[in-house]
A and B are shown apart, each in its own frame.
Chain A
């Protein structure tokens, strides 16, 4: 289970040079910091979604240093639930997701 929507959301923050969420998840030793990081990341991501601009293809983006950064979709409830349950069972899942978010996307991603 790679949780692509969580990874994409975290990758968006990495592209914004906001490493806080990915670092907190990657370095977490217990479940609580991961849950808190996901809660805060989702809250911030939703807020960014609401204030984002929309291009001619109806894709949401924000501008940073004159460059368009497209927003991935908001992770769905089911994926978040599965992710949190998986982390509760095995902490290494959080580290794996954080590591993937830091990597270059394999296909179809923005970089």
Chain B
């Protein structure tokens, strides 16, 4: 089963993805974006949130859900440090001595950590072992029709610096001023989860953990997505730049084979997704789940989880 989610969310005055601090200036991530104006294409620069940023938040949600369900999470991932068994030092915490067989290495990692099972890993030693992530996430970008209204605006802030008796401390003045760029846009992003990949070897060795645990891991993966979206705990600087806004639209599709919702950056993405699903149903006779809302996104996610439960998938 393959789950694909299209999310639109409004975020005003956010600092969800900062890329660089030079001196007293902290910059928001920005990407070039093609828009059509007066029947001509042009490039504009818009605030963006990287897929890596969203993926980190998802995996952190997954840590919490997995621990709550008594599923295995390795020592590094439990701390939110996703080293992903990248070298001998980290892998030895899972299996010692380290075997020469890549299938045995993969099995040891998957058995001992759901985060690396779902989020993939790269053991970059001899023999190298790589596992693709079972979930995929796009950049969050302003939706096409409103991209020209997206802005990144620097905001001035001041921080008090402690003074010595002379009133100066080195080059530090009493008030340190700094600028933080804030982004404002109606963003869209896509999240995919390949439920068939969870708990199964990517090196052709079949299921690595018992069926019951695979189901539990699938459930934890879905709950993590639910929790990440409903709590809006993604991106940086939430303590002082929690974005004003929230999810405006959410579309969920569950299919037997990989199918990705039409990107929510397009205004007609819900209708196009529906049409594409109908064609696939006619052509291949495959069942699907589809739901979309601009009211309560949690309700749509709940229905998708119920559908997967009915199918005996979780």
Residues of A in contact with B (beta carbons under 8 Å apart): 18, 20, 30, 32-33, 36, 40, 43-51, 53
**Using an 8 Å CB-CB cutoff, how does the interface string of B36-67 with A read, 1 for contact, 0 for none?**
00000011010000000000000000000000
Given contact pairs A32-B32, A33-B32, A53-B171, A47 touches B43 in the complex (Cβ within 8 A): no
Return the 7 tightest CB-CB contacts between A and B, nearest first. A47-B23, A44-B22, A47-B25, A51-B23, A32-B43, A48-B23, A47-B22
Residue among B23, B24, B32 having the largest count of chain A Cβ atoms under 10 Å: B23
Q: Are B45 and A44 in contact (CB under 8 A)?
A: no
- Tell me the smallest distance from the CB of B64 to a CB of chain A, in Å: 34
Q: In the bound complex, do residue B32 and residue A50 qualify as a contact, i.e. CB atoms below 8 Å apart?
A: no
Q: Chain B: residues with CB nearer than 8 A to chain A? A: 20, 22-25, 27, 30, 32, 42-43, 45, 171
Q: Binding site of A, secondary structure by majority: helix, strand, loop or mixed?
A: helix
Q: Is there an interface contact between A30 and B171, defined as CB atoms closer than 8 Å?
A: no
Least CB distance, B23 to chain A, in whole angstroms: 3
Q: Are A33 and B20 in contact (CB under 8 A)?
A: no
Majority secondary structure, B binding face = strand
B23: contacting residue among A30, A32, A50, CB under 8 A: A50
Q: Whole-angstrom distance from the CB of B159 to the nearest CB of chain A? A: 13
Q: Which residue of B lies closest to A28 (CB)?
A: B32
A51 and B21 CA atoms in complex are apart in Å by: 12
What's the minimum C-beta distance from A66 to chain B, rounded to whole angstroms? 18
Q: Which residues of A contact B32 (CB under 8 A)?
A: 32-33, 36
Q: Which residue of A lies closest to B43 (CB)?
A: A32
Q: How far is the CA of A48 from the CA of B20 in the complex (A)?
A: 12
Q: Nearest B residue to A31 by beta-carbon distance?
A: B43
A43 partner residues in chain B, CB cutoff 8 A: 22, 25
Q: Is the CB of A18 within 8 A of B23?
A: no
